[in-house]
Structure 1
Amino acid sequence: MTLLHARAVPWWLSGPALAMFSALLLVPLGLTAVLSFNGFDPATGVQAGEFTLAHYRQVFTDPYYHAIFWRTFWIAGLVTLLCVAIGAPEAYVISRMRTPWRSILLLVVLAPLLVSVVVRAFGWSMLLGPEGLVNGALRRIGVGPVKMLYTEIAVVVALVHVLLPFMVIPVWTSLQKLDPGVENAALSLQATPLITLRRIVLPQVLPGILSGSLIVFGLAASSFAIPGLLGGRRLKMVATVVYDEYLHALNWPLGAAIGLTLLAANLAVMLSYHRLVEGHYRKALG
């Protein structure tokens, strides 16, 4: 009896968190899944008593939705690659700095998180607009103006700016576990800086890159504010289409089906990427 009671203690302690998780995530997801199988009539609205797969059939067979999903995922992939290319070296530089410069640079990296994403989106719209600072600089050198606002360029640039801290922090945290003496030992044994970086630093940093890239990809693929404000009405991504179906067309079942399809596709991509990178990581360590 005592052993059973001891085994039940962790469940009792985690019970409130599990209840909150279920109430705030699992129950809404379940209701959304049920809604996605309901019928819809433009004249009367949602048909609660009708079961149909028509909405999923429309998502999987209509080329319009194929193009939107393709645009969403290639933009998310490009944003992730840019965040890795910028954030990993930046985190490495921060980890090698001394106080107080390390704290100052970390504050600079985290500062965008203190500002609303809507405010940042409007800031980029002023910078990238036809009369913005970027086009003004291009005119001075005889290149511009270049149409950037309401294009993929504006969405990618703004998403990289918004999501870069989510790449820097995991990589910086991984680098805190690396003893600088190991790098110095490798250099003292005639290893080149490139070999030291590839054989010692990179295997230690890879878990942080994996974590950061998964976070960035998931947030970029499901982003709404940036594509909605900087992409305009013509540059659709999945989150903006879900918003249109819910609030403009009032087709809630179709919006639920699109949202759940995005969730499933996002999970499939992230789990496949995690398994691929983790396999290479284990081979590198072995």
Structure 2
Amino acid sequence: MSLLLIWVAAYLVLGAFTGFFAGMLGIGGGLVMVPALTLMFAAQTQFPSGEILHMALGTSMASIIFTAVASLRTHHSHGAVMWNIFKVITPGILLGTAIGTLFAASVPARPLAIFFTFFVCLVAVQMALNLKPKAARDLPGTMGVAAVGFGIGALSSVVAIGGGALTVPFLTWCNVRVQHAIGTSAAVGLPIAVGGTLGYVFNGWHQPGLPQGSLGFVYLPALVILVAASMVTAPYGASLAHRLPVATLKRIFAAILILLAAKMVWSLFSTP
């Protein structure tokens, strides 16, 4: 098997895995995709070492656009998307993603990797212990929801996630039924992904030394393969979210997150 076919197969497997869990857990898939892509890009000579993490972040964010669409359609068919919340939270999200991608593009890879790993570990612990905020209040007003959207958009774009790790806990804390929180999170992931992708394309547009096939910090050859696989599996994950208890799968997913993030940091810090 040629080296090219090996990388195609690796991207297909990664896309299928992240698409399935994105649909099931209401996340964008970036928590797995970023460390995995970082390791894959680091093993390929055409990627400049100083921009590997930025390329992984940008490519992951672009893939979330398509994953979010596939997941959103399934959750909408189950009546689980609260469009009234989506309309209020989206303006804040778009502003937050614009600022977040600008920040991420200006930070060197190693400090950014430490921040990403810290965030991943927090999410993994929350998933492994199945911690849920106590539903204690109603949603805040329009300005409050928009402000929360700004924070979710900014942090999500920095670590290239669809926002589910933040949106789902926030909505459940505000007494939103968990299935509706996951479905609405899938919808919220779309403007995060669109805004974040535009930011990574813009900030990497004139960056020298990027591999052929790059659109800013988005590596198109990998993106096409990742999307093809994730679009197939995301609807299956979204359907299962409405039928299966996911606590055990969350623990498995959390363990994978920690291992991948640790390996990513090790690879970035072990190179000169």
Q: TM-score, normalised by structure 2?
A: 0.31
Higher RCO (CA 8 Å, separation ≥ 6 residues): 2
Q: Whose Rg is larger?
A: 1
